[in-house]
Structure 1
Amino acid sequence: MNVTNTFTVDEAKKKLEHYCAYQERCHQEVRQKLKSMHMIPEATDIIIVHLMDHNFLNEERYAKSFVRGKFRIKKWGRRRLLLELKKKDISKYNVNQAFSEIDEEEYIGVFNDLAEKKAESLRETDKYKKKKKLIDYLLYRGWESHLVYDKANELIK
């Protein structure tokens, strides 16, 4: 027999307050959580409005936090960050606000360090295969193609 927990609106509010206080969340994650709790759409809307009113849920703050974290820790480029934020239905305005958090000099510095470190670690003897591996790695990380190709041509001759 399949037994599912049911929650009142107040219980769900408390649970979602803890969920959002633990870590920054976007609207999509909160909606998914409410759906998994089997909340009806009307209750979902009430809870999301409550979370926004009490500053538990803030899409701009989420986008900034996401971009800072993924850029500094995982060394993702702008293309990958944009793609991931689009998957989470973050508005263009909030994406642009988040990207303004990244200093251009720091961005280029991180890119150069990452490319040089990866180029040194590649144990490929054929320079064309080595260049392709470096390019594929950097493109997968979401760095802009003009930066990637220029750096690959500079590092591997």
Structure 2
Amino acid sequence: MRAPEKRSYTVEEAMQKLMHFCAYRDRSQKEVEDKLIQMNMIPAAREKIIIKLMEDKFLNEERFARSFVRGKFRMKKWGKIKITQELRKREISAPLIKTGLSEIDQKVYLETLYELAERKLEKIKEPNDFKRKKKLADHLLRKGYESQLVFDCVNDLITD
């Protein structure tokens, strides 16, 4: 039994596929690059396609960073630390990460942190206040919120 042959694409076919790929939702340049590698495109063709996608506004790292931040914060309620880590994984530059994070209003950020904390606190069935604080803090830290904000929030909600 031999392995199935990988389909090869012309630059035009690949370009059409990637236009649809980028139009569906904002993509990072790394995601597009990975997709082109998966499609067995040679480096010269990959570069040509990426440049064309950028020229035609299908690929824009700043737009990607901004929409990624908005989406992860609004839908998944992630904190800035986790969002930053995920953007770094996608090879987004530090200035673009900073630009993306500017999409989060600080007042809404704190309200979200407290809302998440209160919701989690209702589910923690631990009589010991110290352990309750630890469980709550761990949950909020895993969500990617800054440690100082988490500890202030936990101390506000659970008083010894």
- The verdict on a shared fold, with TM-score over 0.5 as the criterion, is yes
* Secondary structure at 1:24 match in 2: coil
In the alignment, what sits opposite 2:131? 129
CA positional deviation for 1:122: 1.0
Deviations 1:25-67 (A, max 9, x none): 0000000000000001110000000100000000000000000
**Runs (5+) with no aligned partner, structure 2:** none
2 CA distance for matches of 1:151 and 1:61? 32
- Counterpart position of 2:155: 153
Matching residue's letter, 1:25: R
What TM-score do the two structures reach when normalised by structure 1? 0.97
Query: In the TM superposition, what is the alpha-carbon distance from 1:127 to its structure 2 partner?
Result: 1.8
Any stretches of 5+ residues in structure 1 without a counterpart?
A: none
Q: Which runs of 4+ in 1 moved over 6 A?
A: none
Q: How does 1:6-155 map to 2 (within 5 A)?
A: 6-155=8-157
Superposed CA offset, 1:1-26 (max 9, x none): 22110000010000000000011100
1:6 is paired with a residue of what secondary structure?
Answer: coil
Question: 1:108-146 deviations in whole A, cap 9, x for unaligned?
Answer: 111111111111221112222211110110000000000
SS of the residue corresponding to residue 13 of structure 2 reads helix
Q: Structure 2: how far apart are the matches of 1:151 and 1:65? A: 27
Output the CA distance in 2 between the equivalents of 1:152 and 1:109.
13
**Is the deviation greater in 55-64 or in 85-94?**
85-94
Determine the C-alpha separation between the residues in 2 that align with 1:117 and 1:132.
15
> Which residue identity does 1:128 align to in structure 2?
F
Number of residues of Structure 1 aligned to a counterpart in Structure 2: 157
% identical aligned pairs: 48
TM score, norm. by length of structure 2? 0.95
